[in-house]
Amino acid sequence: MNNDYIEKVITELKARGASDISVSHDTIFVSVESDKLRSLVEYIHNELDCYFRTCGGCDERPINGFFALYHIFGDDKHGLNIVVKTYASSDDPKFPTIVDIVPAADWCEMEAHDLLGFEFTGRRQYRLVLPPNWPKGLYPLRKEVPYNIRPKPSTSGEQISKPTNIAAIPIGPYHPALHEPEYFELYIEGEKVVDVKYRGFHVHRGIEKLGETRMTYQQINFLAERICGICGFVHSTCYCQAVEKAARIDVPERALFIRSIVLEVERIHSHLLWVGVAAHLLGYDTGFMHTWRIREPVMVLAELLTGSRKTYGINLIGGVRRDIDESKKKKALEFLDIVEREFKTLADTLLSIPQIKKRLKETGILPKEDARKLSVVGPVARASGLDRDVRRDLPYAAYKYVDFNVPVYDEGDNMARLLVRVDEVFESIKILRQLLDQIPKGPIIAEDITIPEERMAVSLTEAPRGENVHFVITGRGKPYRWKVRAPSYQNIPALKIMLNGVQLADAPITIASIDPCFSCTDRILVIRDNGEKYWLKLTHPRGGSSCPRSL
C-alpha cells in the first residue's frame, strides 16, 4: 500500500469535514456529521472512483448512546478500504440517503431501515428484510430485542399482484430452474420479458442477530460457514480474517496456505456445479450429468482434506484445525490431473452444441457502464469488462505467493459469463498446484488468542460469485456487530437490466447466469407494496431521474 496515496486521501477527506481519522492495515476509518455525509460520499464514489462495498447500521446505544451507520467503500486499484461512520440520536435515528449518488446502496439502506428502524430522508422507503406480516416497530437487530422472539407465524401468503394489461408469469417461489426459493414475477408481452418484479428472500434466518447473541467467537465460524452451502468456506475465512485483523492475531503461514488450498477447491466445485446446472437449464442433461461426474472427485478431495464434503468446518480464529500431510498432497495432485483433463474435453463438447451456442449468445446483456454503476462483482463483472478480483487487488491468505491471470470478457452476455467460469476453473487448478508445492512447514494455529473489545475491521475474500465483505466490531466473548455482504447481494439488482427484452425461455438461464446464491443474499427482501409498476432508469445521464425508484 503506497502510504503517500493514503496521506493524500486523508487530507482530502479532512477538507470535507471528516473527523477522528485512523488507519489500520488497509482500511481508513473516518467519521463525519450526517449533514456532510452526502458530499463526502459523492467525493469518494466519483472523484476517488471507489466501488461501493456495503453499508451497515449498528445499535451503539449501550456504548455511546447513538445509532451508527457505516458506509464501506473500496478502491481496488490501490487495495484500500474506506469506512465512513455517521451518528444519529437514539430517539429518532434519521440518516440522509446516498441512493441517488450510489444506486447500489439501495438494498443496504433498506435492510438497516427494516432491522434497526433507521429512517432515510429523501427517498422512498419500503419493507425489505422481514416477512410482510411482521409486527410494526419490532426491530430485531436492536440490542434490547431478544434473538429468539417469535411472533405468531401466519400461513396465508399475500396475493400476487396482477397488473391487468400485461400477463404476469410467476417464476418461483418454487421453480425447477432455481433450486432456491426466490420469486421473480416477469411481465411478458408474447414471450418477451418486459419487466421484472423481484421478491424473494425466503431464506432470511437472522444470522447476524444470532452472531451477536447466542454464539461465541469460535462458534461463529460454523455459523458463517452455513450462510451459503456452496461457498460457505469463503464466508468463514472472511469472518476469521476480519476478527484476526481487528485483534491483530498473526496466523501461521501454513494455516494461510491450507485456507487458500481449501478456498480454491471450493471454487472449482462451485464453478463445475454451475456449468452443470447451466447445461441442464438449456435442456442438455447429458452435459449436466458428465459435468457433475467430473465434479465428484473434487468433493471427495474436499472430504479428504477437511473431513466433510461441503461444510468443511476446519476454520478457527487464529488458524485451522486439520493439517495436510504428504499422502493427501499426492492424492490431491492426482485428482487435479483427472479433473483438468476430463473437463477440458467436456468444455469443448459443451461449446459445440448448436442449441447452447445459439441460446447463450446475445442474451441477458449487461452493458459495462450499468455494471460499473451497480458495482456488480465476480464473474458477472469480469464478463462485462470490469477487471475486478479481490485475490489480486487486495491479496489475502496465501494469494500473494501465487500468480494467476484473471479472465475478462467484454460482451457481457450469458456466453461470456459461461466462458469466464470455465477459464476460472483452469486458473484455480493452476493456483492449487502452486500452493500445494510451496506450502511451508510450521504450526497450523496461533497460540494465544486474545480479542480486545471495541476494534473494527473490514475483510474481503473472492467468492466464486464475487467479492464478499465482512465487517466486524469486536465485543466481549462475541462480536458486538457482524455485518455480512454476500456477492449476490450486488448482482441481483443487475438482473433488472439483463432480463429486459429477453425471451421467456431464456429467463431462467439469465437468472442463473449470475449464479445467484440466495441463501447468501437473503438477509434482505425487495417488495413493492403498492403494486404500481416502476421503471429502472439507470443509463440516464446524471441528473434527477437517475435514482432507481424501483427494485
Partner 1 sequence: MIPSIIDIAVVPVVIAASIFLPPLLDGVERKIKAIIHSRIGPPILQTWYDLLKLFGKSILAPRNSLHIMTLILMYAVLSITTLILFLYGIYCNSLHYVIASVALFMMIQALYLTIPFVTSNPFAAIGLSREIMIMLINEIAFITAFSLILYFTRGIYTWSFYYTVLVIVLLISSYVSSGRIPFDLAEAEPELASGILIEFSGPFLGIYHYTSLVKRFLVKIVPSYLVLSLFPLDPYIRVVLVIMFSCILWLLYATIAPLLGRSRVDIAPSSLLKLYTSLFAVALILFILGL
Partner 2 sequence: MSLEYLKKSIWVFHLNTGSCNACDIEVLDVLTPYFDAERFGVKLVVSPRHADAILLTGPITYESLPKVVKAIESAPRPRIIIALGSCACGGGIWYDTYSTIGGVPELLKILKEHNIEVDGVYYVPGCPVRPESIIYAIGLFKGLVEKKVKRKVKKAGF
Partner 3 sequence: MSEKSLGKKLGLFKILIIAKKAGRVTRKYPFEKPLVTDEFRGKIEIDEKECIGCGACANACPPNALKLIKGENTFILQYFIGRCIYCWRCIDVCPTNAIKGTREFELATPDLNDLYESVVHDVIKCRECSKPIMTVKAKDYIISKVSVSENYIDLDPDCRKKHFLSSIEKRFSGGIE
362 binds partner 1 (CB under 8 A): no
Which single residue is written with the C-alpha cell 486439520? 322
Chain residues that interact with partner 2, rule: CB under 8 A: 130-131, 134, 140, 145, 147-150, 153-157, 173-176, 179-181, 201-207, 209-210, 214, 222-223, 226-230, 232, 273, 277, 288-290, 292-293, 296, 299, 309-311, 517-519, 522, 525
Q: For residue 421, what is the enclosing H or E element? A: helix 414-438
Nearest to 30 by CA among 50, 48, 16: 16
59 binds partner 1 (CB under 8 A): no
**Residue 220: C-alpha distances to residues 162, 224, 454, 516 (Å):** 42, 6, 18, 24
280 binds partner 1 (CB under 8 A): yes
Amino acid, res. 198: Y
Helix, strand, or coil (residue 196): strand
Q: Which grid cell sits at 235?
A: 464466508
Q: For residue 285, what is the enclosing H or E element? A: helix 285-306
- DSSP-assigned states of every residue in 105-145: GHHHHHHHHHHH--EEETS-----SS-TTSPTT--TTSTTS
Q: Of the ranges 139-147, 222-230, 266-274, 277-285, which one interacts with partner 1 (CB under 8 A)?
A: 277-285
Which single residue is written with the C-alpha cell 488450498? 261
For partner 3, the closer CB: 281 or 314: 314
219 binds partner 1 (CB under 8 A): no
For partner 2, the closer CB: 394 or 514: 514
Annotate each residue in 147-186 with x if it binds partner 1 (CB under 8 A) or - if it does not, as one string. Answer: --------------------xxxx----xxx---------
At closest approach, how far in Å is the CB of 297 from partner 3? 10
- DSSP-assigned states of every residue in 23-81: EETTEEEEE--GGGHHHHHHIIIIIS-PEEEEEEEEEEHHHHSEEEEEEEEEETTTTEE
CA of residue 78 relative to chain centroid, distance: 21
Select the binding partner of residue 310 from partner 2, partner 3, partner 1, none (C-beta < 5 to 8 A, by kind): partner 2
At closest approach, how far in Å is the CB of 280 from partner 1? 7
353 binds partner 1 (CB under 8 A): yes
Select the binding partner of residue 157 from partner 2, partner 1, partner 3, none (C-beta < 5 to 8 A, by kind): partner 2
Alpha-carbon distance of 216 to 342, in angstroms, equals 44
For partner 2, the closer CB: 83 or 512: 512
For partner 1, the closer CB: 300 or 505: 505
Which single residue is written with the C-alpha cell 434473538? 147
At closest approach, how far in Å is the CB of 283 from partner 1? 3
Do the Cβ atoms of 241 and 291 come closer than 8 Å?
A: no
Q: For residue 218, what is the enclosing H or E element? A: helix 217-225
Q: For residue 490, what is the enclosing H or E element? A: helix 488-498
For partner 3, the closer CB: 134 or 292: 292
Alpha-carbon distance of 549 to 537, in angstroms, equals 8
At closest approach, how far in Å is the CB of 507 from partner 2? 15
Chain residues that interact with partner 3, rule: CB under 8 A: 215, 218-219, 222-223, 226, 286-287, 290, 293, 300, 303-308, 311, 313, 321-322, 342, 345-346, 348-349, 351-354
At closest approach, how far in Å is the CB of 358 from partner 1? 6
Helix axes 253-281, 285-306, angle to 10 degrees: 160
At closest approach, how far in Å is the CB of 222 from partner 2? 7
Count of residues that bind partner 1 according to CB under 8 A:
32
Q: For residue 198, what is the enclosing H or E element? A: strand 192-198
At closest approach, how far in Å is the CB of 348 from partner 3? 7
Q: Which grid cell sits at 308?
A: 466433510
Number of H helices, E strands in the chain: 18, 15
For partner 3, the closer CB: 313 or 464: 313
Alpha-carbon distance of 397 to 513, in angstroms, equals 28
284 binds partner 1 (CB under 8 A): yes
Annotate each residue in 474-503 with x if it binds partner 1 (CB under 8 A) or - if it does not, as one string. Answer: -----------------------------x
At closest approach, how far in Å is the CB of 147 from partner 2? 6
Select the binding partner of residue 348 from partner 3, partner 2, partner 1, none (C-beta < 5 to 8 A, by kind): partner 3
356 binds partner 1 (CB under 8 A): yes
Do the Cβ atoms of 80 and 6 come closer than 8 Å?
A: yes
For partner 2, the closer CB: 145 or 538: 145
Q: Which grid cell sits at 372?
A: 460499473
Alpha-carbon distance of 240 to 238, in angstroms, equals 6
Select the binding partner of residue 317 from partner 3, partner 2, partner 1, none (C-beta < 5 to 8 A, by kind): none
How many Cβ atoms from other residues are within 10 Å of residue 127's Cβ?
16
Select the binding partner of residue 345 from partner 1, partner 3, partner 2, none (C-beta < 5 to 8 A, by kind): partner 3
Do the Cβ atoms of 497 and 366 come closer than 8 Å?
A: yes
Select the binding partner of residue 281 from partner 2, partner 1, partner 3, none (C-beta < 5 to 8 A, by kind): partner 1
At closest approach, how far in Å is the CB of 345 from partner 1? 14
For partner 1, the closer CB: 429 or 512: 512
Which single residue is written with the C-alpha cell 450486488? 490
Select the binding partner of residue 352 from partner 3, partner 1, partner 2, none (C-beta < 5 to 8 A, by kind): partner 3
507 binds partner 1 (CB under 8 A): yes
Query: What's the burial of 328, exposed, middle or buried (CB within 10 Å: 0-12/13-18/19+)?
Result: middle
Select the binding partner of residue 304 from partner 3, partner 2, partner 1, none (C-beta < 5 to 8 A, by kind): partner 3
341 binds partner 1 (CB under 8 A): no
Which single residue is written with the C-alpha cell 421503471? 535
Annotate each residue in 236-275 with x if it binds partner 1 (CB under 8 A) or - if it does not, as one string. Answer: ----------------------------------------
Which single residue is written with the C-alpha cell 504428504? 326
Which single residue is written with the C-alpha cell 455485518? 483
Binding site for partner 1 (CB under 8 A): 167-170, 175-177, 191, 279-287, 289-290, 293, 353-356, 358-359, 503-508
